Structure 1
Amino acid sequence: MKRYIVKRVLTMFITLFIVITGVFFIIRLVPGDPLASMARNLPEQIKKNFYAKYGLDKSLIIQYFSYMKELFLGNMGESLVYTGRTISGIIKTASPVSARINIQSILFGVGSGLLLGLIAATKKGKWPDYLVMFIAISGVAIPSFVMATTLQYLLTVKFNLLPTIGYKAGIKGLKYTILPTLALSFGSIAVYARYFRASVLDVLSQDYILTARSKGVSGFRMAWNHVGKNALLPIITMLGPQIAGIFVGSFVIESIFAIPGFGQIYVDAINNRDFTMILGQTILVNGLYIFSLFMVDMLYGLIDPRIKIFKKE
């Protein structure tokens, strides 16, 4: 087990190194740079000072090794657009906001989706099954921004129950996160309900379920011990990559609800060719994505003992 974990951790670092290197050179292949428009009307000497400050006057190879050296020391550098602000500082400020909204949407979406999927599977061919499938189709077909504006109209304009826009931290700010959480989770509810229904129906058709029923195993015990755990494997596979996106979030939802999160900063960084910001966000998102895949493999072995993630010595 230790050998497997060490091997996976080394693979994770190598993968992240390759991603960082690839993104570093790819974003510099795009014509222009973030300082071109900012320093366009400045004297030539001041332009040189700008480029020298951020190391853009050096060759690409020197810039790469300089960046990797600073990154190894824990320094992601300074933003080229948000002058005077470090990448680490921006991430620390914006990430918790996006993370809160997205974690809430994942928890609500997965929980509701699994419950609806289980109900639909156990009531196959009946009205609860048709209702769940209607919700699933609607959730896939309706974009999140349409759901967001609909919720704003119904719960704010029509009934004045929740604030339309804004964000506040802490427990008192929970009401500001309800609408964006619902808007983001509607699609997750639909996807998880549909997949969990199919997964449960597949498990229910297995021979060992028929054996358990013949032995008089109760409905709840069979659903938990036999159906639930085995049907969760495809759901965990879907959940891993979704968790990786908790910091990036949805820039559309963040824009609609005026949430000062990470998603909008990511889009602005790409549009403005903010090299250091793009690299900093790439490290965070890809690092979390790689780690989530590792955790998925670990959970496979815990949920289903038949799956071996390492060989016994």
Structure 2
Amino acid sequence: MEFGLATESFPIEYRKPMGVCAPAPQEIDLVNIIQQLHQHLDPRTVFACFGKIMGQHLPLYGVRLDYKDYHFHWGSQKGYAIEQHLTIADSQFTVNYNLKAPLVPSQTQKLNQLQSLVLQPLFNAIQYREMSLQAMYDALTQLGNRHYYQESLKKEIARAQRHNSDLSLIALDLDNFKQLNDDHGHPLGDKALIEFARMLNSTIRDTDQAFRIGGDEFTLLIQANAEDATILCQRVLDAVATHQYLDNYQVRTSMGISQWRANDSEQTFYQRADNALYLAKAAGGQCYRIHSGLSG
């Protein structure tokens, strides 16, 4: 593994404590350190482990690391600062150390030795996290995908049963989406799906979940009864009608609602919502229906 390294140092209110002796240097057990770092798959846990290890061998107040949209930190930001720019697998990392005292050459060597050990397990943990997210989220719309929907549905049903609380499922799709693709092409159809997904995310509550389960098919899991779910459906209809891009291409949606029943399976729960969606389509679209027969 090759690392590129550039270092900049500057003081931050550095004051050497009076009457405090530097701790005796500890032997570095490389095997133990590597084992500690590689036993975790959560990036923040890996970095916290790294900070703790660095603090055992160096006069360290804290350390920060920035990579892409990730910002890790351990300890406090005070003392003498060192900033380093590192490269692994063509990826750039910036590491900031806050020290109790400037490093002597032997400590600088130790720092370089230790930090070379953390980047690979941290990089691996970040890649694992990103691959896990890719497995759960739809690449086009960034909503949860079909697999994530199925897993979330199981958890929400278990929660509703455990707490005897309400749960509703909304099945929805875009009206005349095939015609939109035929008339304007698939790139515009993809753009419509992206804008529709963004609209859903901005309309639902924090406790609600939105998924794209295929094509122009979406689902919403709502912690509410069916009557309350109709309020959300109406908000979605209003949001679509006033969305500049969607309205410009006459993108509309139909929705079907089902409320969880004690004798429901995951399949029957969804099927009742899908049947209600079919009724909304049969009524001309751009509306919602509840499986119980109540309409909006």
Q: TM-score, normalising length from structure 2?
A: 0.22
- TM-score by length of structure 1 reads 0.21
Name whichever structure is richer in strand by fraction.
Answer: 2
RCO higher in structure (CA 8 A, sep ≥6): 1
Q: Which structure's residues are more often helix, by fraction?
A: 1
> Is the radius of gyration larger for structure 1 or structure 2?
2
